[in-house]
Amino acid sequence: MISVAPGKGYQIVPDTDLLFMTAARAAALIRSGKLSPVTYMQEVLAAAHAAQPGLNPFVAIMDEPALAGARAAEKAVKDGAKLGPLHGIPVSIKDQVDVDGVVTTHGSAIFADNMPPEDDVTVARLRAAGAVVFAKTRLPEFGHKGLTDGPGFGTTRNPWDPSRTTGGSSGGAGAAVAMGIGPIGLGTDGAGSIRIPAACCGLVGLKPTLGSIPWQQATDAFGNYTYAGPMTRSVTDAALMRAAMVGASDKDPWTLGGGGERGLTPGLIGRDLSGLRIGVIARMANPRVQAEMAEHTIASVDALVAMGADADAAGEGIDWIEMPGRVMYQGNYAVSMARHLGQWSNQMDPSLLAFVERGSKFSMADFRQGQYARTRLFRDIQALFTRFDVLVSPTLSRTALPADFDAAHDEIEIDGEKCGITRQGWSSYVYPFNLTGHPALTIPSGFAADGLPTAVQLIGPWGSDLDLLRLGALLEDARPWADKRPV
């Protein structure tokens, strides 16, 4: 229970009302002195400890540092200090991103003692906006797959159905935010790793434009296709979190050009979307899509059309470069993991080892051909944006996979038909935009008959992140989801 003070009196609010409150609302209550950051953090920490045995979202729950940060936030309110837009808001950080004083394990025994010297730039910016870090969240080893499990920590489970995966690789953040354990979480996305768990867990997830939010962890900064971004339960919270992190950093060369950042398109300010051109992509590399996922995508498009937008089919004839993309993805793991194999292979995830083995068989020519294909895909998407203002697709081809799905060997199954490995059959809608750099937003689109969330993806031109968030907010209003909570 928490105490919220309207005027002079106090009113008791149920725990769930606090835990599922948006960050925007909680921050407003904190700024007005009606919500104690300490009480708020205590409830979040209690929920984190309660969920950990069953769902396993966390690598570390940082009780003392989090409470110290909450006490400092409360003092700042009482002292009349200048407060940031996320003042006192609990935030979890994926264990691929450095937090000062906490090990960054990357989900691997190899880095079990890896103590970073300082906060990552994204964490530093969230703290500057007033957020208080309370936990590190799980990922599969080095974020290599779209499920969150590993030999060192077991399985992170979906709050809507623990027999299903949270998705990955930001699966710990997906489970935590979906359960109301902190309203915001920082994820990363190398081939859909924000959008996959957001879609599996019923959240908003933004992969920003390349170069808008710094990613300082990249080993190859110039060939980077990994992004840091928000995972939230509301579009407004995603926008607040994004705004706190954008901007140039000398640790990420892509940010030095501003990431093509532009403001909100004036025609999207209201609810009249007349003139907005929507390109609907029904398939990418996937042979099938679950009926409910497709139906809910069309329902989302119809909601925008009802506001005046025009929609037409898009994407016909595009080579979505699944195999060239796989060559680059697995080839990179083969190179980056080679130095660890001699000492650590017996403690590494078998699916990661399978990726490394496959990647080691690709030639330099294969890898360079993959890079050439990446350029062709970028230009194909650019051509689409001469005809359309925004692209819409399902986020995934089906709802969350079984928690014990083997990403190295099992095939995706939809309506009884085998559809290939995850990149081909499940996450085919998300990885292309890691390669092209275009921003992509996933938001919930409904629920399937299995009780699990479905999701729709919006893709925009470079720098159009605010436009995507605005369209996401209109869909959030037209097809609300925030009243739905895992049991």
Q: Domains plus CATH for the chain?
A: 14-478 (3.90.1300.10)
pLDDT value at 336 more than 60? yes
Lowest-confidence segment of 15-29, 97-111, 282-296, 451-465 by average pLDDT: 15-29
pLDDT value at 84 more than 60? yes
The verdict on whether 92 is a catalytic residue reads no
Q: Report the pLDDT value the prediction gives residue 1, as an integer from 0 to 100.
A: 33
C-alpha radius of gyration, the chain, whole number: 21
pLDDT value at 11 more than 80? no
Which of 36, 170, 193, 351 is catalytic? The answer is: 193
Q: Report the pLDDT value the prediction gives residue 16, as an integer from 0 to 100.
A: 74
Q: Report the pLDDT value the prediction gives residue 15, as an integer from 0 to 100.
A: 61
Query: Which whole number is the average pLDDT over 198-214?
Result: 98
Which of 169, 351, 393, 445 is catalytic? The answer is: 169
pTM above 0.85, yes or no: yes
pLDDT in tens, 165-177: 999 999 999 999 9
pLDDT value at 3 more than 90? no
pLDDT value at 258 more than 90? no
pLDDT in tens, 128-185: 999 999 999 999 999 999 999 999 999 999 999 999 999 999 999 999 999 999 999 9
Q: Report the pLDDT value the prediction gives residue 13, as an integer from 0 to 100.
A: 41
Which of 92, 94, 351, 445 is catalytic? The answer is: 94
pLDDT value at 9 more than 70? no
The verdict on whether 393 is a catalytic residue reads no
pLDDT band at residue 10 using 50, 70 and 90 as cut-offs:
very low
The verdict on whether 193 is a catalytic residue reads yes
Query: Which whole number is the average pLDDT over 39-66?
Result: 97
Average pLDDT, the chain: 95
Lowest-confidence segment of 120-124, 259-263, 410-414, 421-425 by average pLDDT: 259-263
